[in-house]
Amino acid sequence: MIGGLFIYNHKGEVLISRVYRDDIGRNAVDAFRVNVIHARQQVRSPVTNFARTSFFHVKRSNIWLAAVTKQNVNAAMVFEFLYKMCDVMTAYFSKISEENIKNNFVLIYELLDEILDFGYPQNSETGALKTFITQQGIKSQTKEEQSQITSQVTGQIGWRREGIKYRRNELFLDVLESVNLLMSPQGQVLSAHVSGRVVMKSYLSGMPECKFGMNDKIVIDKQGKGGTTDDSGKSGKQSIAIDDCTFHQCVRLSKFDSERSISFIPPDGEYELMRYRTTKDIILPFRVIPLVREVGRTKLEVKVVIKSNFKPSLLAQKIEVRIPTPLNTSGVQVICMKGKAKYKASENAIVWKIKRMAGMKESQISAEIELLPTNDKKKWARPPISMNFEVPFAPSGLKVRYLKVFEPKLNYSDHDVIKWVRYIGRSGIYETRC
Amino acid sequence: MPAVSKGDGMRGLAVFISDIRNCKSKEAEIKRINKELANIRSKFKGDKALDGYSKKKYVCKLLFIFLLGHDIDFGHMEAVNLLSSNKYTEKQIGYLFISVLVNSNSELIRLINNAIKNDLSSRNPTFMCLALHCIANVGSREMAEAFAGEIPRILVAGDTMDSVKQSAALCLLRLYKTSPDLVLMGEWTSRVVHLLNDQHMGVVTAAISLITCLSQKNPDEFKTCVSLAVSRLSRIVSSASTDLQDYTYYFVPAPWLSCKLLRLLQCYPPPEDGAVKGRLVECLETILNKAQEPPKSKKVQHSNAKNAILFEAISLIIHYDSEPNLLVRACNQLGQFLQHRETNLRYLALESMCTLASSEFSHEAVKTHIETVINALKTERDVSVRQRAADLLYAMCDRSNAKQIVAEMLSYLETADYSIREEMVLKVAILAEKYAVDYSWYVDTILNLIRIAGDYVSEEVWYRVIQIVINRDDVQGYAAKTVFEALQAPACHENMVKVGGYILGEFGNLIAGDPRSSPLVQFNLLHSKFHLCSVPTRALLLSAYIKFINLFPETKSTIQEVLRSDSQIRNSDVELQQRAVEYLKLSSIASTDVLATVLEEMPPFPERESSILAKLKKKKGPGAVSNHLLKTRKACLTDIKGISTPSPSADLLGLRAGPPVTAAAPSAGSLLVDVFSEAGVNDDGFLRFVCKNNGVLFENQLLQIGIKSEYRQNLGRMYLFYGNKTSVQFVTFTTTLNVQAKPVEPLIEGGAQVQQVINIECLTDFSDAPLLNIKFRYGGALQNLTLKLPVTINKFFQPTEMASHDFFQRWKQLSLPQQEAQKIFKANHAMDTEVLKAKLLGLGMALLENVDPNPENFVCAGVIQTKAQQVGSLLRLEPNAQAQMYRLTVRSSKDTVSKRLCELLAEQF
């Protein structure tokens, strides 16, 4: 039960203020500004409590979104809602910026009225919202349209309206993963996990029923039982163990529970079908080998080797290695074999950028860092070397096995639908200690 | 950017600062700072030949970054380098950086000290000033060690520039405050004092701050400053407003200097030299006269400066407290301020008047303003001013105006702020009792008090009413009538019900004749309140009911019915249930005679001899007490100090020893007692300490004094802990001992505790314990307390172990009649062997086992260590269990010791 929702710019000025419940007074707006945005110490917790009022905030570039409540609410629900709110706003006016918010404030109030009712989150499906909250001026609706909207909003399938027609039935499926790693200097994996999302864009006519299949270990094993031993051995290698997953509301959970099959009637347009996390058998796309040598009190030699660890035919992109430098660095010389490297004083790091790199290659950088002797006895903490990249495969090993579409009422079959599948693996927090 | 001369502008710094200010977010600011730090590092690292200008610029940037809250761990060396520059701006930045950033344990301190030394010895006044400012700003112990010797020399040197002298004086003051042990004035004292004669007013102003601080520590050394200060003051006061040119502030000549001079004089008693005194009195008169003159300017600064001097002068007059003429004039002046439009002035006037009221000379003068003060209490907007007004009313109260003041305070209490109500209630209660002329007035007042502010009335206050009513036959009927009327109100405070229950239970019969207050009416009235009260009150009411049965047999059946009801006889509270059961049985079984005996009217409460109030009452009759107490407070104090007769507990209320009817008896000494026995020697705690070293010596509503002591041979150390039990701070807290003691903090915060250490050396044997006199101000009222410190001769015992044979040999040696002291006395406590043993051990002597043929007896041996001599003592204690008696025999090599020991011990068993 969210009591109110405020949006601030970076200066703490209120852009949007919507109060849903009487227990939230006007002074709550100021309380958050004074105690969080203008706080002397940076507030790191996303949940703060002042005068028995809880504030949940997220930040998008320079914009603060804060949900306020006096009750003991489910914090995860509130954050889920705030993120959803961000998604909805991006869907309506692309980037969330001060200017965009100011230009669309009528729309935002309209949206806030719709997706929160007396503080309870309502349907926040962009596709559905777009049918009745439009950016064009007021469109007079016919009686049928009105009743249609009513039946849709209140009906069983709130996320899809009836009577959608496309000439070309098309379907896009993206598997987006971010891989997180913490590795010791000796190359031992201290922690690693992948969090992934399956994002779909569907342009399908009618009310199609879809079925999505992937190499989930449980499903494969179940099927493997009936097959030959040889077959099961092969499939066992390729299947993945999913630690936990969440689905879009359109997925029939009862079916997933009983048969572990993912079947659903998709919303129209773009949506996130599922979210998952794996921790076993992760393919680490890069290996970072650091070598740091302190030469006296005033010099430091750093050598970093990166090795790509995937099929040579694939190309990794946007590679960036960030090597932290001590706080008393007074000068840096860098030599690298590939890409460009630069000492960024403002971030206290050497940043090495490589545009493209094929699999099973290696590259290295060496740097000499001059230090200024200080009277501070503290030793440099040696923060880890971090890395960013993008690879065209799923580091978790997830594969889409099938995506079937059935529309019994209309005259197109599974074969007529054009399907596109794409895998993108990105780095999350990918760090190696040095 | 303000325009600055070329080359000094430090454009880089200005750009950097404006960059920082333009940063949109914290992250951006951190990035910009990191970049700048890296740049400065590379600059400091790279070419060694960094010129002074860029060094200054970068050091400035570092300073700015530091002030933004980031850590700076380099650049100190460069800053120190700047110190040796010859350019003022570069030196200044260097010193600035060092005073802000260098911590005392840095290894650079030697270099810094060197640079400072160079600057101090240079003849350039600006450089000297910079160095002095740096020393004062850092103000560390190291700095004091290095320069405490140097600075006085600069201060008194003949050729030092005036500006440097000023800085040197203030710098020395700062060092003195941080490490007084290192600043030794000794030989410089007289020359520093003579700075008061300096031509330059600035130097005098700076020097006087130093002298005031120094003279507070050792007043004797700086005694000579009094006459100099007086002459300086008279020159300033008598000068025309144009004489002092730069030092005239809005037509007031040198106001700061005047205030400081007056404050310095407040450190000393009135000058003995007649001429000096005459001159000072003249000055003070002039100041008072000037206050009467029409203002020379309408500006607020003018009046502020003038009033500052005036108030300082008035506090000096109050401090001297010897010039009746001046005191009265000061009082009149303050009276004018009481009606001033400025709230601050009114506040200050009320505050000063409070102190004036306690002076015997001006008390009458203060009293003339009573109407104004009462008006202030009623109409003042600011609560702090109202509080002062209440304080003043309390202070000015005496017999002549007590009725009026108490009435005014009571009527104000109805609308008073919650924050001051508790204090007001206390004051009204104290005043009402202190100045009570007839007791019916007193009863009226206190009942009114309970009616108006029941929540704030403490237990002691209503105990006291009951006590007085019981002790005075003449008010009993009146009191019964009054409480009966008060209880008629639909909503009564619980305290009122308590008083009502108690008094009607005792004296309900006195008003029973009136049909409007017939017994049954009384009972029903009380019982109608019963269910709204808490358990202790209900218990009290039950006791009142059983008394009713005795007083009015006709109510018996009604009351028995009530007692028999389930809500009483089956009450979940044990106390109530027990009372109900017992009273029910008592009323049904006992005959009327028995009932009449058991439930007899309460006997009068004993008025204890110890209380000063009781004593004075006996001497002068109840009416004269208060006057005597107030008017001759000073005389009294000295008198009473002489009275050292040991006296029993000062518990005037004595409800503790009261009959069983009042279940809720006070457990600690009560407030009212403290008020009245304020000047008496309090030694009920004293005897408890003969056999122990630690514990609570004294405790009342305001103050708790704890003691911790340790003794070795003829030396002892005693820690006194003064705990403030209230939430208000005690000011001007002083303790004086008729032996030497370290001074104690003059201020005790509410709820806080301060400690005082007393070192004791026993020179020779003694029988009188040292007296400790404690004075402090709580709220407006001066509290005075005299305690016997529990230092007794036995504290210096060294135990001596000896065998039976040795003991009796020595016992025989000490056979002269004056060497022995014997006492036979009745046991005060149970005769428990273990307790006796513990007490004897606590005495400090060695308890010798298997010495006396009779195992029941105790024998002890010990040597008293004094500086002059050692006194061996032997002791024998023979308890007689049948007769509950003891025989105590002490033999020692000195007759006085035997006697004293015997006296002390006789009280212990």
Q: Is B58 annotated as a binding residue?
A: yes
Decide if pLDDT at B666 tops 50. no
Q: Chain B: nearest CA to A375, how far in angstroms?
A: 7
Report, as an integer, the average pLDDT of B66-70: 89
Confidence of residue B747 (pLDDT cuts 50, 70, 90): low
Q: Is A377 annotated as a binding residue?
A: no
Which of A10, A331, A345 is nearest residue B35 as measured by Cβ atoms? Answer: A345
Residue to mutate among A9, A63, A346, with most B CBs inside 10 A, is: A346
A260-264, B163-167, B515-519, B662-666, range with the lowest pLDDT: B662-666
A6-10, A412-416, B286-290, range with the lowest pLDDT: A412-416
Tally helices (H) and strands (E) across chain B: 39, 16
Note the pLDDT of residue A279.
Answer: 92
**Cβ atoms within 10 Å of A221's Cβ, excluding its own:** 13
pTM tops 0.80: no
Q: Which tens digits make up the pLDDT trace of B269-280?
A: 888 888 888 898
Q: Which tens digits make up the pLDDT trace of A143-156?
A: 776 776 676 667 67
What percent of the residues of chain A are helix, what percent strand, and what percent coil, each to the nearest 5? 25, 40, 35
3-class DSSP state of B823:
strand
Confidence of residue B649 (pLDDT cuts 50, 70, 90): very low
Q: What mean pLDDT value characterizes chain B? A: 79
- Contact residues, chain A, for B24 at CB < 8 Å: 10, 62
Report, as an integer, the average pLDDT of A337-347: 91
Note the pLDDT of residue B168.
Answer: 92
User: Rounded to whole angstroms, how far apart are CA atoms A328 and B374?
Assistant: 70
User: Rounded to whole angstroms, how far apart are CA atoms B230 and B284?
Assistant: 10
Confidence of residue B796 (pLDDT cuts 50, 70, 90): confident
Q: What percentage of chain B reaches a pLDDT higher than 70?
A: 87
Q: Is B320 annotated as a binding residue?
A: no
Confidence of residue B702 (pLDDT cuts 50, 70, 90): confident
- Contact residues, chain B, for A62 at CB < 8 Å: 24-25
Decide if pLDDT at B656 tops 50. no
The strand pair at B846-848 and B820-826 is best described as: unpaired
Tally helices (H) and strands (E) across chain A: 9, 23
Task: Decide if A330 and B26 are in contact by the 8 Å CB cutoff.
Answer: no
Decide if pLDDT at B379 tops 60. yes
Note the pLDDT of residue A93.
Answer: 87
Note the pLDDT of residue A36.
Answer: 87
Q: Which tens digits make up the pLDDT trace of B160-173?
A: 888 899 999 999 99
A344-353, B387-396, B783-792, range with the lowest pLDDT: B783-792
A279-288, B192-201, B597-606, range with the lowest pLDDT: B597-606
Confidence of residue A237 (pLDDT cuts 50, 70, 90): low
- Contact residues, chain A, for B74 at CB < 8 Å: 328, 372, 374-376
Note the pLDDT of residue B780.
Answer: 64
Burial per residue of A77-97, b for 16 or more beta-carbon CB atoms within 10 angstroms, e otherwise: ebbebbeebebbbeebbeebe
Task: Decide if B45 and A347 are in contact by the 8 Å CB cutoff.
Answer: no
Report, as an integer, the average pLDDT of A105-115: 90
Task: Decide if A375 and B31 are in contact by the 8 Å CB cutoff.
Answer: no
Q: Is B60 annotated as a binding residue?
A: yes
Residue to mutate among A372, A376, A380, with most B CBs inside 10 A, is: A372
Q: Six-digit token pair at A247?
A: 């689905």
**Cβ atoms within 10 Å of A260's Cβ, excluding its own:** 12
Decide if pLDDT at B354 tops 60. yes
Q: What DSSP string runs through B721-732?
A: EEEE-SSS-EEE
Q: Which residues of B touch A (CB under 8 A)?
A: 24-26, 31-32, 34-35, 37-39, 41-42, 44-46, 73-74, 76, 106-108
Q: Which tens digits make up the pLDDT trace of B563-588?
A: 888 888 888 888 888 888 888 888 88
| Interface contact A13, partner B, CB < 8 A | no
Decide if pLDDT at B642 tops 50. no
Q: Is the dihedral of CA B891, B893, B894, B900 positive or negative?
A: negative
Q: What mean pLDDT value characterizes chain A? A: 87
Q: What percentage of chain A reaches a pLDDT higher than 90?
A: 49
**Cβ atoms within 10 Å of B621's Cβ, excluding its own:** 9
Confidence of residue B854 (pLDDT cuts 50, 70, 90): confident
Amino acid code (one letter) for B543: S
Question: B508, B507, B536, B533: which is closest to B522 by C-alpha?
Answer: B508
Report, as an integer, the average pLDDT of B17-21: 92
**Cβ atoms within 10 Å of A252's Cβ, excluding its own:** 16
Q: Is B43 annotated as a binding residue?
A: yes
- Contact residues, chain B, for A376 at CB < 8 Å: 73-74
Report, as an integer, the average pLDDT of A356-375: 89
User: Rounded to whole angstroms, how far apart are CA atoms B903 and B888?
Assistant: 10
Contacts of residue B747, Cβ cutoff 8 Å, sequence gap at least 6:
B729, B730, B731, B732, B733
Question: B456, B31, B609, B819: which is closest to A344 by C-alpha?
Answer: B31
| Interface contact A370, partner B, CB < 8 A | yes
Compute the radius of gyration of chain A from its Cα atoms: 26
Decide if pLDDT at B657 tops 60. no
Q: Which tens digits make up the pLDDT trace of B310-345?
A: 999 989 988 888 888 888 888 888 888 888 888 888
- Chain A / chain B CB contacts < 8 angstroms: 51
Confidence of residue B658 (pLDDT cuts 50, 70, 90): very low
Inter-CA distances, B810 with B802, B806, B807, B864, Å? 10, 6, 5, 16
Confidence of residue A17 (pLDDT cuts 50, 70, 90): very high
Decide if pLDDT at A334 tops 80. yes
Question: A268, A252, A333: which is closest to A129 by C-alpha?
Answer: A268
The strand pair at B681-682 and B781-788 is best described as: parallel
Task: Decide if A346 and B41 are in contact by the 8 Å CB cutoff.
Answer: no
Contact call for residues B650 and B680 (beta carbons, < 8 A): yes
Contact call for residues B434 and B626 (beta carbons, < 8 A): yes
Note the pLDDT of residue B624.
Answer: 33
Task: Decide if B35 and A330 are in contact by the 8 Å CB cutoff.
Answer: no
The DSSP call for residue A251 is B
Decide if pLDDT at B616 tops 90. no
- Contact residues, chain A, for B76 at CB < 8 Å: 375
Q: State which of A57-71, A373-387, B516-530, B820-834 shows the largest mean pLDDT.
A: A57-71
Note the pLDDT of residue A418.
Answer: 92
Note the pLDDT of residue A140.
Answer: 57
Which of B25, B45, B76 is nearest residue A331 as measured by Cβ atoms? Answer: B45
Note the pLDDT of residue A431.
Answer: 94
Which of A42, A347, A375 is nearest residue B76 as measured by Cβ atoms? Answer: A375
| Interface contact A347, partner B, CB < 8 A | yes
Report, as an integer, the average pLDDT of A123-127: 82
Give the angle subtended at the CA of B393 by the CAs of B392 and B396, to the nearest 5°.
Answer: 80
